[in-house]
Structure 1
Amino acid sequence: MQNKARGVVARKKGSPVEVVDILVPDPGPGEALVEVQACGVCHTDLHYREGGIGDEFPYLLGHEAAGIVEAVGPGVTNVRPGDFVVLNWRAVCGRCRACRRGRPQYCFDTHNASQPMTLTDGTPLSPALGIGAFAEMTLVAAGQCTKVDSESDPAVAGLLGCGVMAGIGAAVNTAPVRLGDTVAVIGCGGVGAAAITGADLAGARRVIAVDVDARKLDWAERFGATDSVNARHTDPVAAIRRLTDGFGADVVIDAVGSPETFRQAFYARDLAGTVVLVGVPNPEVQASLPLIDVFARGGAIKSSWYGDCLPDRDFPVLVELNQQGRLDLDAFVTERIALDEVEAAFGRMHNGDVLRSVVVL
């Protein structure tokens, strides 16, 4: 059976998105049908619209989502109808070499629903990150559903589906930040602000926010930054060293992903310190560092995949910390919007006016 729903579709590269009717199949083996309650507007969705990720148009956008499981297919045991879930884009397989070695956060064979969602004329849709949640309902692999406390706000919990989890995880899982560490975060948009939150949560004694936008530096203080550096006016490497007794930070997180910010992160860390790259680079750019400096400075250079999270492990804990008032996830929600306001929200996000716009259905 096909279920009709409204969804936000990018038909071709660079064109404004449209709200259209789509068809969503009933779940097959290993799949779940989810009624979407809220979905955050992420830069990744804009990258899809602009053709920066692929050219498999038309795309059904949206992926930072939470909602209610409507139905499940044969063989599904992890969720059942009525469960409140946060969607994730890395459903681990349990069989690949990473999973067999006890490192499922690096699963090399993550999967999505097998059946396509389509336009009403039968044209298959490519769901963003295998989710496609700017829609009244979506079809996903059951492993993409993580059950969390049903009392949590869908607009808040759904943000764990991508950017917020990526930033928190970069600090808590990938680095990992330890009690008493000094941490610098370069780029204080949604992911960077989440990395600041994660560093604060992990017990960093100093968290230095770096950005070229004074508004984002003001936001960073709310998320736990103890110091801020405006890189438009100040050399961030020199400033970070000055704030860390001349040594550099124990951990520097690059939440931008440009050659310039990666180089700044490398030289702003202490000897034997750690650089974490969580900002997604443009596929065409390259970074260049003197190999002798890489050798002489020691330490680690890491990339963070989705905050190296395990959704079933991490999502429920972070939701609980939010409900206890120990983790202010609500602060990431700048505005709540309707489904037909996504195109305008892209503009506000691109201009840096919001941390997250969230579609509420």
Structure 2
Amino acid sequence: MAHQVRAVIAREKSAPVALETIVVPDPGPGEALVKVEACGVCHTDLHYREGGISDGFPFLLGHEAAGRVEAVGAGVTEVAPGDFVILNWRAVCGQCRACRKGRPWYCFATHNATQPMTLLDGTPLAPALGIGAFAEKTLVAAGQCTKVDPAAAATAAGLLGCGVMAGFGAAVHTGGVGRGDSVAVIGCGGVGMAAVAGARLAGAAAIIAVDIDQRKLDRALAMGATHTVDAAASDVVARVRQLTGGFGADVVVDAVGRPETFRQAFYARDLAGVVVLVGVPAPGASVELPLLDVFGRGGAVKSSWYGDCLPSRDFPALIDLYLQGRFDLDAFVSETIGLADVEKAFDTMRHADVLRSVVVTA
């Protein structure tokens, strides 16, 4: 039977979101019905509301979520009712050319639930990143569910579903940060802070946090940064080089995604160092670099999509580290709120110093 649940809907571009009743079907083949316990409020959700991702309104927002599997459809073997899971938006297919090459984190054919969730009048909803978890229940492809230790707090665990995994993976997977490396992270919001935490866990010797907000820089120090640079008052490239013996950092993570921060990242790295772009650029943004500098500096310039993660591998491992007290996911939770407070959380995101507001539905 279908389920009527409360959910947060964006009906029109730039209009306030609304808490409405929607219809969620029982899972069909390859699908799972998940009772959402917690879901982080991510900038991506705001981008959906603002029409910055597509014009496929109405959207069912929310995607950084954890909860319990309530039911599964035919053929599902990955998870079972009662499992505590983190939702992901990269359900790998196992068959595309990337998967066959042993690089499933690049999967070119990720999938979502087949059946639509709808408004009460039958209008299909477009779930954010194929998830739609600002809801009491949501329907996803079973491959979007990653089973983890149920001892983890849902408020913390769900954040691995997007921002924290993106930042951690940008440093550790894409950037390849290792023991003794020097790392600079430009932009210390949720993604950048996760890159700082990831670099610390990987054993980096120097971790330089760069931002224009002193509050974020102070928090980066608590997360494991060894140095900070106020980008509003300093020449970022010169300061990073000064802090790394005049050479530049082995890995520089741009968690902002603006042309000026990308240029800073490019020139703040050591020769043969790695630049990682994980901040999402605005449509139409571009950067111009002397081709001779690209050639002469060597190394690598990479983009990181979802932290080059493999949820089945990375989510359980990071939850284990969290439960061991070695990866403080709770530190990313700035506040807990209800479903009716998402619009207020969007406003807070714009004007206040928060890492994540987390919606609690259970």
Bin the TM-score by the shorter chain. Answer: over 0.9
Report the equivalent of 1:279: 279
Is the contact made by 2:212 and 2:230 (CA closer than 8 Å) also made in structure 1? yes
1:160 aligns with 2:160: yes
Partner-residue secondary structure (3-state), 1:123? coil
Partner of 1:8: 8
Partner of 2:194: 194
- Secondary structure of the residue aligned to 1:219 is helix
Return the letter of the residue paired with 2:11: R
Residue type of the alignment partner of 1:263? R
Aligned to 1:25: 25
- Unmatched segments (≥5 aa) in structure 2: none
1:140 matched residue in structure 2: 140
Q: Which position in structure 2 is the counterpart of 1:311?
A: 311
One-letter code aligned to 2:125: L
Could you say which residue in structure 1 is the equivalent of 2:66? Answer: 66
| Number of residue pairs the alignment of both structures matches | 361
1:179 and 1:222, CA in 2 relative to 1: closer, same or farther beyond 3 A?
same
Measured against aligned partners, the alpha-carbon deviations of 1:189-218 in whole angstroms (never above 9, x if no partner) come to 000000000000000000000001111111
Q: Are residues 1:80 and 2:80 paired?
A: yes
Alpha-carbon distance in structure 1 between the residues aligned to 2:298 and 2:181: 17
Amino acid in structure 2 at the alignment position of 1:251: V
The whole-number CA distance in structure 2 between the counterparts of 1:228 and 1:45 is 29
Q: Return the letter of the residue paired with 1:143.
A: G
Paired residues for 1:78-157 under 5 Å: 78-157=78-157
Amino acid at match of 1:122: G
Matched, 1:209 2:209: yes
Secondary structure of the equivalent of 1:28?
coil
Aligned position for 1:259: 259
Displacement after TM superposition at 1:283 (Å): 1.5
Q: Which amino acid aligns with 2:111?
A: H
One-letter code aligned to 1:65: A
SS at match of 2:170: helix
CA distance in 2 between counterparts of 1:276 and 1:103 reads 18
1:174 aligns to what? 174
Please list the CA deviations of residues 3-27 of structure 1 after superposition, one character each: whole Å capped at 9, or x if unmatched: 1000000000000000000000000
Residue 273 of structure 2 aligns to a residue whose secondary structure is strand
SS in 2 for 1:99: helix
In 2: Cα distance, 1:67 partner to 1:249 partner: 39
1:272-323 residue CA offsets vs partner (Å, 9 max, x unmatched): 0000000011121111111000000000000011000000100011001011
Distance in 2 (CA, whole Å) between partners of 1:57 and 1:219 is 37
Q: Aligned AA for 2:324?
A: Q
Residues 64-110 of structure 1: CA deviation (Å, up to 9, x unaligned): 00000000000000000000000000000000000011100000000
Segment drifting more, 176-185 vs 345-354: 345-354
Root-mean-square deviation over aligned CA pairs: 0.5
Structure 2 contact 216–353 (Cα < 8 Å) conserved: no
CA deviation after TM superposition for structure 1 residue 231, in Å: 0.3
The one-letter amino acid paired with 2:317 is: V
Preserved contact between residue 9 and residue 17 of structure 2 (Cα < 8 Å) = yes
What SS is found at the alignment partner of 2:237?
helix
Deviations 1:148-183 (A, max 9, x none): 001110000000000000000111111110110000
Cα distance in 2 for partners of 1:176, 1:281 equals: 22
Q: Confirm or deny that 1:38 pairs with 2:41.
A: no
Match of 1:347? 347
Distance in 2, Cα, partners of 1:2 & 1:57: 22
Q: How far apart, CA to CA, are the structure 2 residues paired with 1:350 and 1:208?
A: 25
TM-score between the two structures when normalised by the length of structure 1: 0.99
In 1, the alpha carbon distance for the partners of 2:349 and 2:225 equals: 22
Query: Unaligned stretches of 5+ in structure 1?
Result: none
Q: Give the aligned residue type for 1:150.
A: P
2:244 aligned partner: 244
Q: 2-side partners of 1:352 and 1:179: how far apart?
A: 35
Task: List, as ranges, runs of 4+ consecutive aligned residues in structure 1 with deviation greater than 4 Å.
Answer: none
Quote the Cα distance in structure 1 between the aligned partners of 2:167 and 2:209: 13
Identity of paired residues, percent? 72
- Which residue is equivalent to 1:320? 320
For residues 64 and 150 of structure 2, the distance between their equivalents in structure 1, rounded to whole angstroms, comes to 17
Q: Partner of 1:50 in structure 2?
A: 50
State the distance in 1 between where 2:114 and 2:287 align.
37
Distance in 2 between the 1:352 and 1:272 partners?
38
Q: Report deviation, 1:352.
A: 4.1
User: Contact conserved, 2:196 with 2:224, CA < 8 A, in 1?
Assistant: yes
How far the C-alpha of 1:2 sits from its partner, in A, is 1.3
Q: Does 1:218 align with 2:218?
A: yes
Aligned to 1:228: 228
